[in-house]
Structure 1
Amino acid sequence: MLGHDDLYPNAELPSFFWRSASHQTILAVSTLSRLFLYGLNKTEVNGLPRFLDLLRSRSDYKTRSKGLLTVSNHISVLDDPLIWGVLPLSFGAFHGYMNHRWTFGSHDICFQNTALSHFFTLGQVLPTHRGAYSPHGGPFQATMTEGVRLLSKITTSQPSLCPQNNPRLLKTSHTPSWPRDCVDPFSDIVPIPSYQSQPNDERWYHAPSRYACNAYSWMHIFPEGMIHQAKDQTMRYFKWGVARLILEPPECPDVVPMFIEGTDQVMHESRQFPRFLPRIGKKITVTFGKELDVEAVFGDLRKRWRELADRDAQERGHPAWDEMMLGIVPESLAHHPEAVELRKECARRIREAVLEVRRSRGLPDEDPKSGMVETWLREGPKREGLMDDGTWVKDT
């Protein structure tokens, strides 16, 4: 059983080297994205001032009181980082420092080698495994633990549980080293805050949840889990892993739904040679919805989740849900029927919030069945490409 001997210290900040390298990487990509959006395409943004005010209020990590989760449809391989090119560069340079978004990226695409792994790690992308390509995929993988913790309070006085590199739990332990591992080479604490995305991963990755400066962070997620390009701009069902980011943080994060249009024409899955080049001269629209009243939308689900977690903890011999387990779901809760239903309902409500933004764009309502897993069997048996229902899909 895990105990306080398994806790590791947290740090206040990564080294100046790491902070600077990460900030400059994100600004460089944001600059290229903005030049592409406004220099080579026609770009429209809705609801941006309100969203910038929200980001501005979160600039100082010491005064944040909750995390931020942005959620959107996914229609192109360039959605992230391209959509963040709508944020003014001056804003990103000053208010974005220690305040940029975190997101998830496919391990087998974004982390294929050391160079790519360093680039995406510095760009605040966390490695995730896709269930169709890895036995380590799914909503309970190690990176999801980082996601839940990034949306939570992190302090230097309360150490973190880190079972991924624990000599008591593993036959061998690993001392992360840079540049082989994507970690801060000038870290103030030992062992260097890091984790494996899966037990046999060849490298270790920077663990942002072990730094107080990342308390109540901003995370962006594409809950469809794959690119979906449809002429009528319908969305696939939302995979319920996103619900973990709503249900499990001690304080519910602010949730801002978004809707993206036009990036599918920039990199449509039917494109021919030169396939690797994005198309220009397209109309791109990014719409930021209003912050949700998270207590009204998710309050009942979070209450039921905590009651279920407390009950499960007691059955396992603990007085209540232990915060040191934050982001780590025991097997008894992973597939508990009530927990599964809570996650499904939470994902459905998040999808409905994105649909509201879609409606604000004047698009007709979807078939209500579009949000159901069973509906998407009509796509046919293929994983990618042109589906039987006429949509284009790419697993990302």
Structure 2
Amino acid sequence: MARRVMEWAGRADYMGGIPRKIVIGAVGSFAKAWVTILNSTTVHNADTLLNLVRSRPIGLPLITVSNHMSTLDDPFLWGFKGFPICDANLSRWVLAAEDICFKSSPLSYFFRLGKCIPITRGAGIYQEHMNEALERLSEGAWLHTFPEGKVYQEDAPIRRLKWGTASLIARAPVTPLVLPIVHSGFDKVMPDKSSRGKRPPFPLLNKEIKIIVGEPMEFDIPKMRQVATTLSPKMSHPSLGWPRICPGGLDEAAQRCLYIAISEKIQNALERLRIFGKSFTN
């Protein structure tokens, strides 16, 4: 089995959970100050997110998905007024780029305490840390992903989603609820390039942030598996050497069909929110 980077530091029982509480409390306070005090933020349908985070049925996992506008989308996305961002027990797990957040031991330790799971971009959907994400979902946890796979600061339609999130939805022991979220303004708070042509050293102030929370999506995975199995013989792609997945023992072609169907459904939901967000005012 491949080594999981500092997984021990991410456990709730590590040193009684005190380091985790310190990191999440400090980062959460910073995000809340920047989002609610130093910038102007409006949120649509916040209660839906709050209810799912605080009081969804025990054992029911939640996956939130959003567009990716800046390197600070997480944690700033959760910094709006009324959200329990400093509560380590309610805080999300999040898939984080290994080459950015885990490129040194101190960074790995810090981000692990912040409930981040490292993902190696380009290593495929069956890399070892995806199994770790599945384990968190099997515990009924909340996981956030950026299924576009990278930061895009252009005002453009939602791009074709990577299949990692779809694979987690399909393979989770209990099918998660999926909540789409679209935001704008974080690209102005932390632009890739400022007036000097470089990323600013600190987040900027006095920007308008909008967060649009959608409605939870349910996926009938058994039915979608059946449809994928029926359609897959019509598809022809080079083999990637994927393992069969259970239940159903789906072969690689059927998995492709299934992941495409899930991803397109999520992409369409995100795009509808993006369009709605352009006209939304609080």
Q: Flag whether TM exceeds 0.5 (same fold).
A: yes
Tell me if the contact between 2:61 and 2:142 (Cα under 8 Å) persists in the aligned partners.
yes
Q: Secondary structure at the match of 1:84?
A: coil
Deviations 1:31-86 (A, max 9, x none): 1001011221111111112221222214xxxx613100000111111101111112
Q: Does residue 275 of structure 2 align to residue 351 of structure 1?
A: no
Match of 1:26 among 24, 27, 30: 24
CA spacing shift, 1:294–1:345, aligned 2, 3 Å: closer
Distance in 2, matches of 1:302 and 1:35, equals: 45
Alignment match, 2:135: 149
CA spacing shift, 1:114–1:220, aligned 2, 3 Å: same
Alignment match, 1:36: 34
Deviation of 1:274 (Å):
6.5
Tell me if the contact between 1:247 and 1:305 (Cα under 8 Å) persists in the aligned partners.
no
Q: Does residue 115 of structure 2 align to residue 124 of structure 1?
A: yes
Match of 1:294 among 215, 219, 226: 219
CA spacing shift, 1:14–1:32, aligned 2, 3 Å: closer
Matched residues, number: 255
Q: Secondary structure at the match of 1:255?
A: strand
Alignment match, 1:50: 48
Q: How does 1:330-369 map to 2 (within 5 A)?
A: 330=243, 336-362=252-278
Deviation of 1:341 (Å):
1.7
Tell me how large the CA RMSD over aligned residues is. Answer: 2.7
Distance in 2, matches of 1:79 and 1:236, equals: 17
Tell me if the contact between 2:35 and 2:79 (Cα under 8 Å) persists in the aligned partners.
yes
Deviations 1:263-287 (A, max 9, x none): 0111222323563222211100111
Structure 2 length as normaliser, TM-score?
A: 0.81
Distance in 2, matches of 1:57 and 1:109, equals: 33
Q: Secondary structure at the match of 2:79?
A: helix
Alignment match, 1:217: 141
Deviation of 1:347 (Å):
0.8
CA spacing shift, 1:143–1:360, aligned 2, 3 Å: same
Distance in 2, matches of 1:87 and 1:73, equals: 21
Q: Does residue 102 of structure 2 align to residue 111 of structure 1?
A: yes
Tell me if the contact between 2:25 and 2:88 (Cα under 8 Å) persists in the aligned partners.
no
Distance in 2, matches of 1:222 and 1:76, equals: 11
Distance in 2, matches of 1:263 and 1:20, equals: 30
Tell me if the contact between 2:102 and 2:118 (Cα under 8 Å) persists in the aligned partners.
yes
Tell me if the contact between 1:103 and 1:219 (Cα under 8 Å) persists in the aligned partners.
yes
Deviations 1:249-270 (A, max 9, x none): 1221011100010101112223
Tell me if the contact between 1:68 and 1:219 (Cα under 8 Å) persists in the aligned partners.
yes
Q: Secondary structure at the match of 2:58?
A: coil
Tell me if the contact between 1:247 and 1:301 (Cα under 8 Å) persists in the aligned partners.
no
Higher mean displacement: 13-22 or 75-84: 13-22
Which amino acid in 2 is paired with 1:139?
I
Distance in 1, matches of 2:229 and 2:30, equals: 43
Alignment match, 1:324: none
Q: Does residue 64 of structure 2 align to residue 70 of structure 1?
A: yes
CA spacing shift, 1:274–1:341, aligned 2, 3 Å: closer
Match of 2:201 among 276, 283, 287: 276
Distance in 2, matches of 1:75 and 1:302, equals: 32
Deviation of 1:23 (Å):
2.4
Deviations 1:5-28 (A, max 9, x none): xxxxxxxx8436242221221121
Which amino acid in 1 is paired with 2:176?
P
Q: How does 1:1-396 map to 2 (within 5 A)?
A: 14-15=12-13, 17-58=15-56, 64-86=58-80, 88=82, 91-93=84-86, 96-131=87-122, 137-152=123-138, 215-231=139-155, 233-271=156-194, 272=196, 275-295=200-220, 298=221, 300-302=223-225, 330=243, 336-362=252-278
Alignment gaps of 5+ in structure 1:
3-12, 132-136, 153-214, 308-328, 364-396
Tell me if the contact between 1:228 and 1:236 (Cα under 8 Å) persists in the aligned partners.
no
Alignment gaps of 5+ in structure 2:
2-10, 231-241
Distance in 1, matches of 2:278 and 2:39, equals: 22
